[in-house]
Structure formats: C-alpha cells, structure tokens
Amino acid sequence: MLIRSPNEIPASQITAESVYCKRRELLRGLGIAGLGLSGLGQPALADSAQTLSDIKRPSPYDTDEALTTFDDVTTYNNYYEFGTGKSDPAKYAVNFQPKPWTLQVSGQVENSGSFDLDDFIAPHQLEERIYRMRCVEAWSMVIPWVGIPLAKVIEACKPTSNAKYVAFIGLHDRQRMPGQRFAVLDWPYREGLRMDEAMHPLSMLVVGVYGRVLPNQNGAPLRLIVPWKYGFKGIKGIAGIHFSENQPATSWNLSAPNEYGFYANVNPNVDHPRWSQASERRLSGNGFGRLFAGRIDTHPFNGYAEQVAHLYSDLDLAKHF
C-alpha cells in the first residue's frame, strides 16, 4: 500500500475526527483491524476477474442443484442502468469503473456517514453461498455467490430502535450508467427489506461470484441477494443504505404497483397479472451455448420456506405480494 504524507493529501480527503471515530467503530464492529485491504495480501475487491481467496465454504444453506454456467450467469442479465436487453449489461457495463466506491449510510443509525466500500467488507470475511435464484420473468438459475451476511454489516452500522426497514439505493450517475438516460424506471434503482428480513442469515451483500470479483453486469462492486424473493429485490450497484421507520419506496412497486409488491416473495400461488408464476425455466448452460431446461415447478419462497416462512405468519401473502 502506498502511504502518502499528509501534505500530499488534499484537504477534501482528510476525514474529520468525529467521522473518523465512527469509522473506527464500524471497522471494529465488522472485525476489520482498520488496515488497508491491500495490507491483507489480497487483491482489492473490485479488480475485475480477480480470483478471491480464503472464501469460507461450503455453507449449510447451499443447494446441491446443478450450477448455471459462469457464461450464462454473466451474459443473461437484468440491469436496466445498462440497457433493457438481457445481453445489454455484459456489453455496455464493460467500461464501468466500480472502484473506488463510496457507500452512504443514513437515517435511523448510529454509524451514519460516507464509507469506502473496502472498509465495509474485507476479503477474509467472505463466504460462498450456492443459491437458487428466481426472476419474476419465470426463469431461474443456480449461482455460487460470494459475499457477507447482510446482518453483519447492519449490526456494525448500529441501527437505532426506530429502524424498522432498510432501504438500498443504487448509484445515480447518467454518465457512467447510460441506461439512466431513459425513463424506464424512476432512477436511482431502489429496494428495501423489513429489518427482520434483512437480518435473516440467508440475506447477503454480494461482492463476487464463482470465486471471482463480481463482474460489472452482475452489480459490481456491491449488490444484494435475497434468495426467497424475486430477482428484482437483488439491487445492483448499491451506493446507499438507509434505515427508516416507514416502509421505503421500491423501484418496481413505484413503476407498476399492481404487478410488483414490496415483499416480492417467490409464490407459485400468486400469478403475475400477465403470466403464471407456478413454474419456471431453469437456465442450465451445458458449455455449448445457452440452454433452457424444461419447465420445473416453482416452490413457495423459492424453496426456502423452511427457513423463512415464519417471517410472514401474520401476512396474507395474496394481498402482500
């Protein structure tokens, strides 16, 4: 790591002491010694295509279903900031620079402020989770994500007792995200979870896939993964985390409230107004190009009912979709 002497650092980059103290507290909460990450002998998190080492695996939450190929995971994407076609993100996000990356923590939380992503997630904390993923468009994949349980990050942020929800705000930058020049959604992309959903051990903040740093088209440098919900909850390119007392607005619910609810739990019994959600097409590339296997049944909570159904015992899931 290059250590610059204080007189080489512009005043704008010098951290005020109050912020610095909070930062130290946050790092302690995350179990990070406060070293620059490069001091850990690891590549920085956003070095595209870099292999991540020391990933904790396997996880008791892993599915043993066949993995979707790396090629399919990285070329068949939804990421409207880079176009609405499935192959657009791989094409138009190539030159996106996800490093350095600042994360804004705000709202009902003790450790609010701006943080460098590298202070949030250190390479030695990373875990792999092989999750089933189900898009609301009725296709699905099995993906080995690499990240950190969202609960760990939330605990380090120290939400106040008023924090009932956590919202995630995508990067808003028309220069770097050409799709934001089109009003297909009300930018920036927004998502949110109830606090108990966010604290559930299945919820992850993801920085990698297939043992490598997350490709831009999959949401580098930081995205959310909530495997019992439809894919759109898994916001990519997270620039802000906001804790609130009231349920936050979410992009797809804002854009089509009759089609997409706040919860978006995978539910074969509640059809999308324009198509059935009872089954799905599993993307299982075989190395000879993309292959959609035949239709398979969609399971309640995407097969994670045993782990998460209790979170919704009070809700009418046909009404709160």
Ligand X SMILES: Nc1nc2c(c(=O)[nH]1)N[C@H]1C(S)=C(S)[C@@H](COP(=O)(O)O)O[C@H]1N2
Binding site for ligand X (CB under 6 A): 77-81, 135, 170, 189, 218, 231-232, 234-237
Please select the residue that binds Mo ion; options are 231, 234, 285, 303, rule is CB under 5 A: 231
189 touches, from ligand X, Mo ion, none (C-beta below 5 to 8 Å by class): ligand X
229 touches, from ligand X, Mo ion, none (C-beta below 5 to 8 Å by class): none
Rounded Cα gap, residues 90 and 75, in angstroms: 6
Q: Does 96 sit near Mo ion (CB under 5 A)?
A: no
- Name which of 150 and 235 has its Cβ closer to ligand X: 235
Rounded Cα gap, residues 15 and 200, in angstroms: 33
Q: How far is the CB of 142 from ligand X (least distance, A)?
A: 11
Q: How far is the CB of 184 from ligand X (least distance, A)?
A: 9
Q: Does 219 sit near Mo ion (CB under 5 A)?
A: no
Helices (H), the chain: 17-29, 70-75, 88-92, 117-120, 150-157, 195-198, 251-255, 305-308
For Mo ion, which stretch binds (CB under 5 A), given 16-24, 32-40, 125-133, 224-232? Answer: 224-232
Please select the residue that binds Mo ion; options are 135, 154, 169, 206, rule is CB under 5 A: 135
Token pair recorded at residue 263: 């919860």
Q: What angle do CA 281, 282, 285 make, to 5 degrees?
A: 125
79 touches, from ligand X, Mo ion, none (C-beta below 5 to 8 Å by class): ligand X
236 touches, from ligand X, Mo ion, none (C-beta below 5 to 8 Å by class): ligand X
Q: Are 142 and 171 a contacting pair, CB within 8 Å? A: no
- Name which of 27 and 238 has its Cβ closer to ligand X: 238
Q: Is 316 exposed, middle or buried (0-12, 13-18, 19+ CB in 10 A)?
A: exposed
- Name which of 232 and 304 has its Cβ closer to Mo ion: 232
DSSP single-letter state for residue 82: G
Token pair recorded at residue 53: 């080492």
Token pair recorded at residue 191: 């998502």
- Using CB under 5 A as the criterion, which residues of the chain lie in contact with Mo ion when the complex forms? 78, 135-136, 231-232
